[in-house]
Amino acid sequence: MTGIEERLKALENEHQIRALTASFADSCLSGNAQCFEALWVADGTWTLAEPLHLESRGRDSIVKLFLELATGKRFFCQKLHSGIVTISGDIATARWILSENAANHDGSLYQSTAIYDDRLVFQDGRWLFQARYCQFLDISHTGNNS
């Protein structure tokens, strides 16, 4: 590859990783488990650190956790604020700062600020999550606001 081809490929890869992460956030809002499942390698790992202490290994387990977390939610909105992507061949890492807002059907609310650290792999012509680790900086819950 020429210099410009390499730079274009690097930009394309980063764009695809950013789009993958945006698709994760969109799946959280839509609750679409099929789209969420398509974001992961078969043996992926999803970790939500303290205070939740949740970890799922394998795509089926990850989707099961996704559905459990969505139960009882009127909506769950994840907002990405910034991200740093580092690519080395068919492997990449990314770090995202984000905030989340959710409302349950009972009127209670949830807010968080968190950092996601990701490992990604280029597989079958696309980037997929191999591991996502979420470190919460702050979580707050409020009671019924109806």
The pLDDT of residue 145: 54
Mean pLDDT of 136-142: 94
> Residues 87-134: pLDDT tens digits?
999 999 999 999 999 999 999 999 999 999 999 999 999 999 999 999
DSSP per-residue string spanning the chain: --HHHHHHHHHHHHHHHHHHHHHHHHHHHHT-HHHHHTTEEEEEEEEE-TTT-EEEESHHHHHHHHHHHHTTEEEEEEEEEEEEEEEETTEEEEEEEEEEEEEETTS-EEEEEEEEEEEEEEETTEEEEEEEEEEEEEEEEE----
